[in-house]
């Protein structure tokens, strides 16, 4: 009997074995996701968090964060601040959240946040635009007193300004708080990022590679070949070609504005008659056609903002030429305007990282020629360095003029007398007084009215020429088909890039 039982058990085991072997098993293969590769026109050159526009670059690369930031719904949010309380005209109190960390695992507390903000305020004059030099003082581990030099009604907005990033010094360089950290940097060429393990949901992220590609034809080829998952800021022509190939292309309101900065201190643009003539002789619709999108500017802000201008730009070539004639600029035998033996010639500059501006430059050359104006052009890599030399007459410039959702920061930077980005050497008592008034106003009808009034004064004085409220194009691989850029290029690499 025992032999029979033993035989039956062995037979059963054999049956189970062969059945199991006959089943098809799905083997789970664990593979590492390939990095997301982004092509754009720039990569940061040096990790200097208080130098010029570098903090903006660090944030758009996903390395740093401002104290407050703008989410994709336009709300001001913070990973660091629980509560903001105003105690009097110039003083505020920040209550910090606990447990938020730098990328080295140390906590962001009152001492580290106050040190970072005070360092920014001392070393980067661009941070002083809205409320002067702001001072931060630790009260306890999670409380900071804030004292502004000039009155402001919205400290959250000030703390979202792109200069105001959180950082500290480490043994091997600066340490930040963004969703990524540097794995490798080839300055101004490429940047490889890996997840910051101390940022929420870091396990869901993989590596990101950013490549600087300023030539749009090369950008297109790299995207078509599959080398890039994202081609950010491609020209309308390239965008159209990729769409025709069935590629995914997102077209967005940039939030930026394209405008001409004029050197009103020296040279030909110090003559307001010349500025008025050029303003009248530029047909902005030509730029819209060349860019295959966007809108003619009506001021200094994207037209979806409530504080956008109400300026109606006039194009009148005959009137432009008449102004120049009356100002003594007569056409010579070569079709150029001349006065007292001097040709009416301007130095026109723009820069590589904004391809649309080079398109506008080409159209503008033909428009200036119709007015008998000679133009000498230059395309540079660092436009802010060139602007400081004051050797230009006209710069084609691009700027997100309301990255925090309100107008104060930009207007103070560019148009306050001695403002930190007042490249035009512009000074207006009326504008300065209106800017002072804005600092006393909460966001609402009166502030909106004041912002519009400033834009009218600027259009009358012409330190800048309003040009285009643009659209931008972003090509995306199938992998990134759900990616939605927002706030222009302020958050290209963000915590939601990997989904």
Distances (CA, A) of 340 to 41, 113, 344: 43, 60, 10
Whether 329 and 366 share a structural domain: yes
Under 8 Å between Cβ of 424 and 261: yes
For residue 412, what are the domain limits? 256-469
Look at residue 25 in the predicted model and tell me its pLDDT. Answer: 36
Does residue 73 lie within any of the structural domains? Answer: yes
d(CA 395, CA 423): 10
Number of domains the chain contains: 3
Does residue 489 lie within any of the structural domains? Answer: yes
Does residue 432 lie within any of the structural domains? Answer: yes
Q: What is the CATH number of the domain that holds 58?
A: 3.40.190.10
Q: Centre a 10 Å sphere on the Cβ of residue 104 and count the other Cβ atoms it contains.
A: 15
Between helix 408-415 and helix 445-461 the angle, nearest 10°, is 30
Does residue 81 lie within any of the structural domains? Answer: yes
What single DSSP character describes residue 127? G
Under 8 Å between Cβ of 175 and 471: no
d(CA 142, CA 94): 8
Domain boundary among 127, 152, 169: 169
Whether 277 and 212 share a structural domain: no
Mark the ranges of the chain whose per-residue pLDDT is less than 70.
1-32
Look at residue 24 in the predicted model and tell me its pLDDT. Answer: 36
Whether 406 and 386 share a structural domain: yes
Whether 320 and 438 share a structural domain: yes
Q: What is the CATH number of the domain that holds 106?
A: 3.90.76.10
Does residue 27 lie within any of the structural domains? Answer: no
Does residue 24 lie within any of the structural domains? Answer: no
Domain boundary among 169, 199, 224: 169
- Per-residue pLDDT of 297-317, as tens digits, reads 999 999 999 999 999 999 999
Does residue 366 lie within any of the structural domains? Answer: yes
Which residues, other chains included, contact 111 with Cβ-Cβ below 8 Å and sequence gap of 6+?
138, 141
Look at residue 15 in the predicted model and tell me its pLDDT. Answer: 36
Whether 263 and 324 share a structural domain: yes
Distances (CA, A) of 253 to 14, 70, 375, 481: 69, 16, 31, 18
Look at residue 450 in the predicted model and tell me its pLDDT. Answer: 98
The whole-angstrom distance between residue 210's C-alpha and the CA centroid of its chain comes to: 16
Q: How far apart are the first and last CA of the chain?
A: 64
Closest to 373 (Cα-Cα) out of 335, 341, 399? 335
- DSSP codes, 28-45: ----PPPPEEEEES---S
- Backbone φ and ψ of 374, nearest 5°: -85, 140
Whether 204 and 342 share a structural domain: no
Whether 336 and 355 share a structural domain: yes
Whether 221 and 264 share a structural domain: no
Domain boundary among 116, 145, 169: 169
């Amino acid at each position: 009997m025992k032999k029979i039982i033993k035989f039956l058990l062995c037979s059963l085991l054999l049956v189970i074995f062969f059945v199991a072997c006959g089943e098809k098993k799905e083997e789970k293969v664990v593979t590492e996701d390939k990095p997301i590769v982004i092509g754009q026109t720039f990569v940061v050159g040096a990790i200097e968090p208080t130098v010029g526009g570098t903090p903006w670059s660090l944030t758009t690369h996903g390395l740093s964060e401002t104290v407050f930031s703008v989410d994709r719904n336009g709300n001001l949010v913070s990973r660091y601040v629980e509560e903001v309380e105003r105690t009097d005209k110039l003083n505020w109190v920040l209550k910090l959240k606990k447990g938020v960390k730098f990328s080295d695992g140390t906590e962001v507390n009152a001492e580290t946040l106050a040190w970072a903000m005070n360092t920014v305020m001392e070393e980067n004059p661009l941070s002083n635009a809205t409320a002067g030099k702001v001072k931060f003082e630790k009260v306890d581990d999670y409380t900071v007193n804030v004292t502004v030099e000039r009155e402001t009604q919205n400290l959250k907005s000030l703390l979202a300004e792109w200069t105001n990033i959180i950082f500290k010094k480490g043994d091997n360089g600066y340490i930040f708080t963004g969703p990524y950290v540097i794995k490798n940097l080839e300055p101004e060429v490429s940047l490889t990022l890996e997840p910051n393990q101390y940022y929420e949901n870091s396990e869901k992220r993989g590596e990101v590679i950013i490549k600087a590609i300023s030539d749009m034809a090369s950008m297109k080829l790299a995207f078509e070949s599959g080398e890039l998952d994202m081609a950010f800021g491609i020209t309308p022509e390239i965008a159209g070609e990729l769409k025709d190939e069935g590629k995914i292309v997102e077209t967005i309101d940039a939030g930026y504005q394209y405008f001409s900065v004029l050197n009103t201190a020296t040279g030909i643009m110090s003559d307001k008659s010349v500025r008025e003539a050029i303003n009248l002789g530029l047909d902005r619709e030509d730029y819209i056609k060349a860019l295959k999108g966007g809108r003619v500017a009506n001021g200094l802000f994207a037209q979806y903002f409530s504080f956008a201008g109400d300026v109606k730009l006039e194009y009148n070539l005959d009137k432009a030429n008449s102004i120049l004639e009356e100002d003594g600029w007569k056409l010579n035998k070569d079709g150029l305007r001349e006065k007292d033996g001097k040709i009416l010639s301007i130095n026109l500059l723009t820069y590589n990282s904004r391809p649309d501006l080079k398109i506008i430059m080409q159209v503008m050359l033909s428009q200036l020629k119709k007015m008998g104006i000679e133009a000498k052009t230059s395309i540079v890599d660092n436009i802010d360095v060139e602007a400081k030399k004051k050797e230009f007459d006209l710069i084609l410039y691009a700027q997100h003029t309301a990255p925090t959702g309100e107008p104060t920061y930009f207007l103070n930077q560019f148009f306050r007398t001695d403002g930190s980005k007042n490249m035009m050497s512009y000074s207006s008592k009326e504008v300065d007084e209106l800017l002072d008034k804005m600092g006393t106003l909460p966001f609402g009808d009166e502030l909106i009215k004041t912002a519009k009034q400033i834009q009218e004064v600027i259009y009358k004085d012409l330190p800048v020429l309003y040009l285009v409220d643009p659209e931008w194009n972003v090509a995306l691989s199938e992998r990134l088909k759900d990616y939605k850029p927002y706030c222009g290029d302020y958050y290209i690499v963000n915590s939601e890039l990997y989904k």
